[in-house]
Structure 1
Amino acid sequence: MNINRIIKVSTAICFALIAVAAMAQNKAQESSQKEIKNTADAKTDEFIDGIAELMAYSARTPILRTPDQYGMAYEDIFFPAMDGVTLEGWFIAAKNSNKLIICNHPMPANRYGYPGHLEPWKNFGGFEVNFLPEYKILHDAGYNIIAYDMRNHGRSGAGNGGIVGHGIVEYRDVIGSLRYARSRTGTKDMKIALYSRCLGANSTFVAMEKYPEEFKNITAMIALQPSPPRAFVKTAMDNAKIPNGYELFDQALQRKTGYVLDDFRPVENSKADSIPTLVAQVKADFLMPFYYVEEIYNNISAKDKKLFWIEATDQRFQGYNYFGQNPKVMLEWFDTHFK
């Protein structure tokens, strides 16, 4: 074999080896990238599934405080929701008063509040939400109070397989509370107002839409932080920078509950609200943009309505403590409409 042929063969072998090495390197890179992608996909799935689980089933939290700790005598009560689910609560009586406020709560709280200062519930700011100071203020101002746990929360019964309907099944609890107040000895002739928070407010709007006759003689309402679930999801997915995150969440929620986000429509439901309503919201709420609440407020049919922004915090759950610490707006609203 002459020298030129040896050089050509050697060169060909070198190029072949380089090509094989390059292919091996590319496969290794592809494998590494695939592993990274799989890890990222797994983390994304875990993130989405965790939020979907909370929104599908909420969380039962303990009742850590009671009215007697704040100098209020009270009665443990229970009554049926419209569909028979047993709801538990408190009746706090005010002397020589015919004024009654019915209070419900956000998800995943209960009639007492939310133990966010304790593990494993520190995921909404790490502080406690306590409704008892509000009840004390209202009680001392001459208001009787019914405060109750919604289904699948606090000590109330389970309903709908434990699934949270973000108002589209919980409206039955709102109707149940009104019927209980109107049939109970001592409260059946009282003037009634509503204090509905988040999940409770969404549920009240649905109840108004389905059974407007139940709200004919309601004096007024405070709707604290009513919110479309889709607003929370969109904000979470945008912050996490997950492509198609909203759609992926919708699929995860549907697998767990049969519902999709468009099934929950507090913006549209709020049009059925024709009673005097104060809407209050943390304006800088980091969990969702304030304009969603503006939409709800603008859609309320009542001519007598007011929008109040809670300032100086971006913590949504601090909004639930606000009127217990700053009661002026709350008291003025109820006092004005009970006259």
Structure 2
Amino acid sequence: MFGKMIAKNLVMAGEAAPLFDNPSNYNLQYENVSFQASDGVNLKGWLIKGDDDKVIIQSHFGLYCCRAGYTNDIKRIAKGYPTDVKFLRQAKYLNDAGYSVLMFDMRNHGESDPAMDGFASYGPEEAKDIIASVDFISNHSVYKNANIGLFSICMGQGASVSAYGREDGLKNYSNIKCMISVQPLDYAHFIDKMKLPGFLLKRADRFIKKNTDFDYINNTWRPYVKDVTVPTLIIQNKNDGFLDKDFVDGVYNDLQVEKEMMWIEIPDKKNQGFNRMAAYDWLGTHSEPVLKWFNKYM
């Protein structure tokens, strides 16, 4: 019982990531869209309409998140953050600057299909979703000639990096011009920073291994950082409760492209989870560095 409960909080989203917001709440023109990943998983999202020549694809963090962000509107063991984290705020300032924006739910989140029996992979499997989103825009009747920028948040950045490491992946799309990578983290470092009691971690690990053959420790996006081919800005909160500075520095150092490291310092919150989530909330109210990076390359 405890193993399942802990495991669900580590690697499973399901009902923990409901869709709770809508572009119409921000006076944004949009359409509901759906597209399919290479393994047949159906993905749903919003295509927010701006200029035809530039599109931002925003991907989200894992487990408690969907394309709209994070909400406290459902029952949880504990709050992940004091308030809702609304990702449509980014879409609003991006759209006001002329960008079209594709926001979609990765597999096992929001309205998209389940996959791998509901287990999120922290990037390697979700890479198929990132590729599908880029392919969707690249073949869209209106946006097929548009430049694309990737706004990749936590698991979304792991998925984007993994997608650069695949033979059928993002390195094949010359229309991708740049990426913003928010708070890089893989499963092994997440678990290490959780500091769970050993007996709970063992029970969770037994449940995971019993229910999926995915190797969370060794199957990570980290080796593919060197394969990224576009200018990349990393944004990281210094007070992130899950921060391993050597890990983030290593990601930055391994990028073989034009790059920039942006350390932000958000005042300490109640706990380590709040301190990580604070950076996601920060994105919605700090448009300048985001727009500066995308405007430079797009």
TM-score, normalised via structure 2 length: 0.89
Decide which of 56, 68, 82 is 1:126's aligned counterpart. 82
Please say if 1:54 is aligned against 2:14. no
| Alignment of structure 1 residues 74-85 onto 2, 5 Å | 74-85=30-41
Distance 1:232 1:260 in 2: 15
Q: Which has the higher contact order (CA 8 A, sep 6+)?
A: 2
Q: Which residue of 2 aligns with 1:313?
A: 267
Amino acid at match of 1:199: M
Q: Does 1:233 align with 2:188?
A: no
Q: Work out the CA distance in 1 between the residues paired with 2:4 and 2:244.
A: 23
Shift of 1:212: 4.6
For residues 125 and 290 of structure 1, do their structure 2 counterparts lie closer, same or farther at Cα, with a shift above 3 Å needed?
A: farther
> Which residue of 2 is the match for residue 151 of structure 1?
107
- Kindly provide the amino acid, as one letter, of the partner of residue 92 in structure 1: I
Change (3 A) 1:244 1:260: farther
Cα distance, 1:260 vs structure 2:
3.3
Please report how far the alpha carbon of residue 267 of structure 1 lies from its aligned counterpart in structure 2 after TM superposition. 2.3
What are the equivalent positions in structure 2 for 1:217-296 lying under 5 Å apart? 217-237=175-195, 240=196, 242-243=197-198, 250-296=205-251
CA–CA separation in structure 1 for the residues paired with 2:52 and 2:142: 10
Tell me the alpha carbon deviations over residues 141-170 of structure 1, each in whole angstroms, 9 at most, x when there is no partner: 010111100011000111222221221211
Q: Does 1:187 align with 2:147?
A: no
**1:15-26 aligned within 5 A:** none
Structure 2 residue aligned with 1:207, among 135, 149, 163? 163
Tell me the distance in 2 between the aligned counterparts of 1:121 and 1:178. 36
Contact 2:52–2:143, Cα closer than 8 Å, also in 1 = no
- After superposing the two structures, state which structure 1 stretch, 99-108 or 110-119, moved more: 110-119
SS at match of 1:328: helix
Residues 223 and 59 of structure 1: is their aligned pair in 2 closer, same or farther, counting only changes over 3 Å? same
Match of 1:102 in 2: 57
Indicate the percent of aligned positions where both proteins have the same amino acid.
Answer: 28
Q: Provide the rounded CA distance (Å) in 2 between the counterparts of 1:165 and 1:70.
A: 32
Q: Secondary structure at the match of 1:253?
A: helix
- C-alpha contact 1:281 1:290 (8 A) present in aligned 2: no
* Counterpart position of 2:22: 66
TM-fit CA distance, 1:270? 1.4
What is residue 271 of structure 2 aligned with on the other side?
none
Amino acid at match of 1:181: I
In the alignment, is residue 141 of structure 1 matched against residue 101 of structure 2?
Answer: no
Aligned-pair distance for 1:127? 2.0
> Does the C-alpha gap of structure 1 residues 290 and 256 become closer, same or farther in structure 2, counting only changes over 3 Å?
farther
Task: In structure 2, give the amino acid aligned to 1:167.
Answer: G
Unaligned runs of 5+ in 1: 1-44
Which of the residues 128, 131, 146 maps onto 1:175? 131
1:196 maps to which of 152, 159, 163: 152
CA shift digits 1:7-37 (9 cap, x unpaired): xxxxxxxxxxxxxxxxxxxxxxxxxxxxxxx
Root-mean-square deviation over aligned CA pairs: 2.1
| Letter paired with 1:255 | K
Name whichever of 223-232 and 122-131 sits farther off. Answer: 122-131
Q: TM-score, normalised by structure 1?
A: 0.79
Letter in 2 for 1:261: Y
Higher helix share: 1
Q: Secondary structure at the match of 2:185?
A: coil
Aligned partners of 2:14 and 2:118 also within 8 Å = no
Moved more, 99-108 or 250-259: 250-259
Seen in structure 2, the aligned counterparts of structure 1 residues 243 and 62 have a Cα distance that, compared at 3 Å, is closer
